[in-house]
Amino acid sequence: MEDLMPTPLRVLVVEDSEDDAQLLLRELSRDGFELIARRVDTPEAMLAALENGTWDVVIADYVMPRFSGLEALALLKERGIDLPFITVSGKIGEEAAAEAMRAGAHDYVSKDNLTRLATAIRRELHKAAVRREFRRAQEELRRAHEELETRVMERTAELAQANEQLRLEIAERERLASRWRLLLESLDEGVYGADIQGRCTFLNRSAAKMLGYEPEELVGRNIHQTIHYRHEDGSEYPQEQCPMFLALQRGQGSRVADELLWRRDGTCFPVELSSHPIIEGGVIAGAVVTFVDITTRKQEQEERERLLAETEVERARLAAVLEQMPSGVVIAEAPSGRLIMGNAQVERIWRHPFLASAKIGEYEAYKGFHADGRPYRPEDWPLARSVSAGEVVQDEEIDFLRGDGSHGTMSVSSAPIRDREGRIIAAVVTFHDITERKKAIQEYQTILETTMDGFWTTDMQGRFLDVNEGYCRLTGYTREELLGMRIQDVEAMETPEETARHIQRVKEKGFDRFETRHRRKDGGILDFEVNVTYLAGYGGRLFVFLRDITERKRMEQEREQAFRQIDAERELFRTLVENAPAGIAVIGGADMSYQLVNSAYQAIAPDKPMLGRPWTEVWAEVAPEVQQLVDRVLATGEPFRTIDAPFRIRRGPHAPPEDAYFTFAYIRIQLPLDGSNALLVVNHDTTEQVLSRQRIEELAALAQRQAAELQGVLDNMVDAVYVCDTEGNITLANDAALRLVGMSSLAELSRYPLAEHPTLYQIRHPDGSPVAAAEMPLTRALRGETVVSQELTFRHPGTERDTYVRISAAPIKDEQGKIVRAVAVSRDVTELSELDRLKDQFIAVAAHELKTPVTIMKGYAQALLRTGERTTEQRHKMLEAIDRGSARIDAVVQDLLDISKLATGRLELTIAPIDLSELASLCVDHEALTAERHRIRLASLQPVSIQGDRDRLEQVLMNLLDNAVKYSPRGGDIEVAVNVSDGEAVVSVRDQGVGIPKEKQSRIFQRFYSAHTRTQHDFGGMGVGLHICSEIVVRHGGRMWFESEEGKGSTFYFSLPLPR
C-alpha cells in the first residue's frame, strides 16, 4: 500500500512562464508525487518564499528576463540553505549546462526530456537526506560529548543514576557509530581503523575493494603486516616507521604524500595516506587511516617528467647538429627578433664574433648590401622578415662586409618556426659563403660562351638556369626566352613524363651520355649528342653539353634506308608466302616434286614430308583423280579453280583416311632459274568451315525450336521480364512486361533507351526520392551487379497511378565472361504495398486512439487507490488489477506508437552527452526493485560517455532486462556489463533462462515475432520489443546481436560509437 501512495513533495519553481511551470508539475504528478508548489520569477519573491515556507527541492529555468537560474542558485547559497537545485531549460547547450553544474546546481534536465525530472529529483532528495543525516549525526555526536562532560562534572547525581546514564550514553554512541559506519561506506576514499596492537577494527568497502579483500577478511588481522609490510623493491617495511604506528605511539596525526599498499593478489599501488590517533579519556585507543589511490596521478607526473627529459635530449641534440652543420645557422625568438643561438660557422663566415642582438633594430651591426649597392636595413634581413611576417626565404644572395674588412657573397635561406596553433614562436636562418663559387662560375661562363657546342644548366624540374650562346644560335631562341622554358619545351623525342624519369635516372647514376632530338624555334628538328653530369648542390643541378649531329644523322639515315629497302624487297616474297592464310606450294622439275611449301600448306598434312618429294608420292591417295587436272593446266596454261571440293585424304603416312574439303587453284608459272614450267598451288583447307556450317544449320534449327518454347514460357509468365543490350536498349520484353508499363509492343517500348526510363516513368525509391539512371536494376546488372528484390515506384502512363514493383536483375555473360546483356524480372506488388501501408496506418491510429482512454483509466484507478482508507479490501484489489492492466495496455500502446514512428520515419532522437555506465547502473537498480527471484548485478562497468538519446537508450536497457527476467522463470543471476572495445561502447545483458531455439534465432529481431509463441514459455507480448530496440540502436549508429543456447540462457549485446 505504501508503494502506491503518492510521495509528498514541496517544490519551489523559479520560472517566468506559468505554462512551463504547470508542464513541470504535471510531469511530476504523473510520476507519483503529491505536490505543494509555488512559482516565483524575481529575487524578492524567492526570498519571501524561502522565509515563509519549507521546501524539498528548487527547480529553476536557466534563462529568464528578470531573473536567471544562476542568480537563484547564488541566492540559495548566500542564505546557507541546502536544497536540491535542478536547472531546467530547452535552449542552452552543453557548456552552459556544465557551467550551472560547476556553480553548484545538482542536475540539469532538458525541457525536451522531462521524463528524467522525477528520477533526478528522487536521486537528489536521497543525496540531500544523506547530507542532512550526516549533519544531524555530527550535531548529535557533539551534543552527546557536551552532555557527557556536563554529567561527569555533576557530582550531585547518585551512583545508580550515573551508571544508568552511562549505559544510555553507550547505547547512544553505538547508534551514532552505526550511522557513522553508513557514512563511511558512502566515501570513495579508503578508511580503516586499528586498535593499539595494530589489529584492524573496521574498514569501509572502498578500502576493501582497492585492497582486493572482503571486509571480514581483514578485521582482526595486523593491518601493517597484511597490506603495508614491504617497500616496492621488496625490502621489509618496519612497523616502527609506519605512519599508523607513529600515530599509535605518539598520539599525533601524519600525512604521507606517496606510500605503497599491497593487495591480496600480491600487487601494490601508490596512495596518499593520512593517519590520526583515536583518543578515549585522554588515552590512545587506536588509529584511523584514510588513503586515496594516486596511480593515475603518478602516471601523469611520470609522463610529464619523461616529456621534459625528452625535450632536454632533443634540445641537446639540436645544439650538436647545429655545431656540425657546414652552413652558418642563427635562431631568433619571436616577436622581438632576439638572437638566441648561433653555431660556430657564423664566426667563420663573418670573421667576427657572434653578435647577440636583443631585437631586430640591432641587426644593423651586420653589414649587408643589395645587388644595386643599397645597404640592408635591419628589417630587410631574411631572418627579420621570417620572425615578423612569417616569410619563407630561399637562396637569397647578399653581398656582405666581413669583420676583417673584405667583401663576400652569401646565399641565405630563412623560415618561421610555429607552434601547434600556427603562431610564430621563432625563426631560423641558414647561410653559406658563395664568394669563391661565384668567381668560378663567372670564369666558367666565359669559356662556355666561346664554344661552338651548346651548353646549359637546369634544376631537377628541368627549368633552364643558364644557356650559352652556342645553343641559342643552334635552336634560334634568345637566352631570355630559354630561361623561361624547360627541357620538356624543346625535347622532341621524349614525353614530359619520360623526361622527368630520365632526369631522375641521371641523378641516380651521376652522369649519362645519349642522343636525342630538340625542336628549333622555327619548328625544325635538330639531332644532338648529349653529355650530362649531375651535381647535388643547391637542390640538384644538371650540367649539359650538346653537339649538333643533325647532318651526320641524316647521312646515316639515308644509308640505312637504302639497306632496309633492299632487305624489305628480299623478304617481301618470303613473308607473303610464309604468312599467307592460304596454303601455297610450287611443284616443278622432271619429277614434279615440291620446290616450295609454306606453313599453311604443310599444315594440311603436318606429318607428311613434302619438300623435294613428288606430289604424286605425297598425295598418292588422290593422285589418280587429280592427275588429269594437273596435266591440263600445264599443257594449256589455263588456271583451274574450285570451291569446297571434297577429298578423302590421309594427313600422315600412317593416319587413317578422312573426309576433307578444299578450295584451291592450279596456276602454271615459269621457274626463274631455268624457265621450265611449274605448277603454283594455292590451297585453303575449308573442312572446318564446311563442317561448322553444317553444324550451324543443325543448331539453328534446334535454337529456333528452343526459342519458340522460351517465348511461350515468357508470354505466360505473371512476372514481367526485360532484356537489354550493353547500350541500354530493350531487346526483349514479355507480355506481362508490356502490360506493366502500358506499352502495346516491343517496338514501342524499345523506342525509349534505359537512360530515359527514370524520367519517362517517374521512377522513385519507396521514400519518394527520384531514381537516377545509374541506380536502375538493369543498369547495375550491366555493371556486373546482381540485384535482388529492389523495390521501386513508377507512374503508370495509362492510369496515371503509382505502381509499386519489386525487381531482381542479373548480367548475361558470354563464354569469355564478358557482359553482353542484362535481364530483369519485375513483379507488381502495388496491392501488397497498399496492405502494408494500411496496416501501419491502422497501428498508428489504434495506438493514438487507445492512449487517451488508457491514460484516463490509469489516472482514475491511481486516484481511487490513493484514497485507500475509504475502500474495501476487495475493491482495493480490483483497483490494483485495473491499474496493472492499464499499465500493461499503456506499454502496448507505447510499443505501437514506436512501431508507427519507425515505419513512417518519424522516430526522433534527442542527442546529448550520456554517462552510459551511470545509465546502466540506474536501470539495474530499478529492475532489482521488482525482480525478487533474481540477482541482478553489474559484472563489469567501465566508465564511458557517448552521444545519444538517454530516454531511448534507457528504453533499450530496460527492455533487455525485462526480457532477461521474464524468460528466466526459475530466477538466477542476470549480469549487465559495460565495456569499451575497438572505438565502441559495448553493453551486454546475460541471463540463465530458457534460451532461444536455434531454428528461430534468425528472425528474433523481426517485427511482431516471438520465439516462444504457443510454447510453455509464452509469457505474452506482441513481439516488437527487440525490433524496436534494434532500430533505436541502429539509429544511434550502432548494432545489436545476441548469443543463445536453448535451455542455458541468452546474452544480448549492443554497441554504440564513441565520440570522435
**Gap between the Cα atoms of 992 and 1050, Å rounded:** 7
Q: Each residue of 930-986: pLDDT tens digit? A: 777 888 889 888 899 999 999 889 989 988 998 888 888 788 889 999 999 888 999
Averaged confidence pLDDT in the chain: 83
Higher-pLDDT residue of 1060, 794? 794
* CATH number of the domain that residue 893 is part of: 1.10.287.130
553 found inside a domain:
no
509 and 632 share a domain? no
Between 291 and 114, where is the model more confident? 291
Q: Is 70 exceeded by the pLDDT of residue 271?
A: yes
Which of 635, 663, 685 is where one domain is finished?
685
Burial 337-372 (b: 16+ CB within 10 A, else e): bbbebbbebbeebbeeeebebeebeebeebebeeee
The answer to whether 746 and 752 are in contact (CB under 8 A) is no
The reply to whether 442 and 425 lie within a common domain is: no
**Residue 146: which pLDDT band, with cuts at 50, 70 and 90?**
confident
568: pLDDT strictly greater than 80: no
What pLDDT, on a 0 to 100 scale, did the predictor assign at position 156? 52
DSSP 8-state assignment for residue 357: -
Is 476 within the bounds of a domain? yes
Q: Which of 1043, 966, 974, 960 is nearest to 1012 (CA)?
A: 966
Boundary (domain end) residue, out of 827, 844, 875:
827
pLDDT at residue 1020, as a whole number:
56
Q: Which residues, in sequence order, are CB contacts of 68 under 8 Å at separation 6+? A: 62
Amino acid letter for position 398: I
Average pLDDT on 462-482 reads 90
The Cα–Cα gap between 371 and 373 comes to 5
- Measured CA distances, 399 to 412, 413, 694, 908, 1025 (Å): 11, 14, 95, 72, 84
Task: Name the pLDDT band for 910 (thresholds 50, 70, 90).
Answer: confident
The Cα–Cα gap between 846 and 853 comes to 12
Q: What is the pLDDT of residue 870?
A: 62
Both 913 and 889 in a single domain? no
Residue 358 — pLDDT band, cuts 50, 70, 90? confident
Instruction: Flag whether 260 is in a domain.
Output: yes
- The model's pLDDT over 503-551, given as tens digits with 9 standing for 90+, comes to 999 999 988 999 999 999 999 999 999 999 898 877 788 888 888 888 8
pLDDT given at position 921: 92
Contacts of 402 (CB under 8 A, 6+ apart): 349, 350, 351, 352, 408
Give the largest CA-CA distance in the chain: 171
How far is residue 256's CA from residue 1049's CA, in Å, rounded to a whole number?
A: 50
Whether residue 1 is predicted with pLDDT greater than 50 in this model: the reply is no
Looking at residue 522, its pLDDT comes to 93
Alpha helices by DSSP H, 93-229: 94-103, 115-153, 159-185, 205-211, 215-218, 223-227
Q: Which residues of 1008-1023 are buried (b: 16+ CB within 10 A; e: fewer)?
A: eebbbeeeeeeeebeb
Q: In degrees to the nearest 10, what's the CA dihedral of 174, 177, 182, 183?
A: 160
Is the pLDDT assigned to residue 561 strictly greater than 60? yes
The predicted structure's pLDDT at residue 10: 92
Does 129 fall in a domain?
Answer: yes
In a domain, 517, yes or no: yes
Same domain for 289 and 246: yes
Tell me the range of 257-261, 286-290, 588-592, 1053-1057 where mean pLDDT is highest: 1053-1057
Contact 977, 940 (CB under 8 A): yes
Query: In which residue are the cell numbers 550520456 written?
Result: 914
Q: What is the pLDDT of residue 20?
A: 83
**Residues 35 and 130 grouped into a single domain:** yes
pLDDT at residue number 298: 84
- Quick one: cell of 633? 593446266
Q: Are residues 541 and 650 in the same domain?
A: no
Cα dihedral 714/715/716/718 (nearest 10): 70
Mean pLDDT of 758-767: 84
Answer whether residue 174 shows pLDDT above 80: no
Does any domain span residue 695? no
Position 53 confidence tier, pLDDT thresholds 50, 70, 90: confident
**In this structure, what are the phi and psi dihedrals at residue 734, rounded to the nearest 5 degrees?**
-85, 175
Cell numbers linked to 764: 522513385
Which strand (E) or helix (H) includes residue 317? helix 295-324
pTM, entire model: 0.30
| CATH classification of the domain holding 621 | 3.30.450.20
628 and 763 part of one domain: no
1022 and 922 both lie in a single domain: yes
Q: Cα separation of 121 and 114, whole Å?
A: 11
Give the pLDDT confidence score for residue 580 in this predicted structure.
Answer: 76
Q: What pLDDT, in 10s, does the model give residues 1021-1038? A: 666 788 889 889 998 899
| Cell numbers describing residue 59 | 527547480
Look at residue 505 in the predicted model and tell me its pLDDT.
92
Domain with residue 964: its CATH number is 3.30.565.10
Give the DSSP letter string of 836-896: HHHHHHHHHHHHHHHHHHHHHHHHHHHHHHHTGGGS-HHHHHHHHHHHHHHHHHHHHHHHH
Residue 490 has pLDDT above 60, yes or no: yes
Q: Structurally, how many domains does the chain consist of? A: 8
Reduced to 3 states, what is the DSSP secondary structure of residue 263?
A: coil
When pLDDT is cut at 50, 70 and 90, the band that residue 15 belongs to is: confident
Tell me, yes or no, whether 341 and 246 share the same domain. Answer: no
List all residues 6 or more positions away from 362 whose beta carbon is below 8 Å from its beta carbon. Answer: 355, 378
Reported confidence tier of residue 1043, pLDDT bands at 50, 70, 90: very high
Confidence band (pLDDT; 50, 70, 90) for 392? very high
| Average pLDDT for 119-128 | 85
Q: Is the pLDDT of residue 1015 over 70?
A: no
Lowest mean pLDDT among 68-77, 639-648, 741-750: 741-750
Indicate whether 448 pLDDT > 70: no
Give the per-residue SS3 of 482-511: HCCCEHHHHECCCCHHHHHHHHHHHHHHCE
The last residue of one of the domains, among 433, 460, 483, is 433
807-863 pLDDT, tens digit each: 989 999 988 889 999 999 888 777 666 556 655 555 555 555 555 565 666 666 666
Instruction: Count CA atoms closer than 13 A to 88's CA, side-chain side.
Output: 29
pLDDT at 2 over 50: no
Asked whether residue 163 carries a pLDDT value surpassing 80, the answer given is no
Mean pLDDT of 135-154: 73
Could you tell me the residue range of the domain that residue 367 belongs to? 326-433
Same domain for 924 and 987: yes
Beta-carbon-side half-sphere exposure of residue 782 (alpha carbons within 13 Å): 20
Residue 376 has pLDDT above 90, yes or no: yes
Looking at the structure, do residues 822 and 893 belong to the same domain, yes or no?
Answer: no
**Pairwise CA distance, residues 722 & 827, whole Å:** 12
Where residue 444 falls among pLDDT bands split at 50, 70, 90?
Answer: low
Share of the chain above pLDDT 90, in %: 18
Q: Determine, yes or no, domain membership for 181.
A: no
Tell me, what CATH number does 88's domain have? 3.40.50.2300
904 has pLDDT over 70: no
Residue 570 lies in a domain: no
Task: For residues 817 and 798, state if they share a domain.
Answer: yes
Confidence of residue 374 (pLDDT cuts 50, 70, 90): very high
Locate 404 and state its grid cell: 676583417
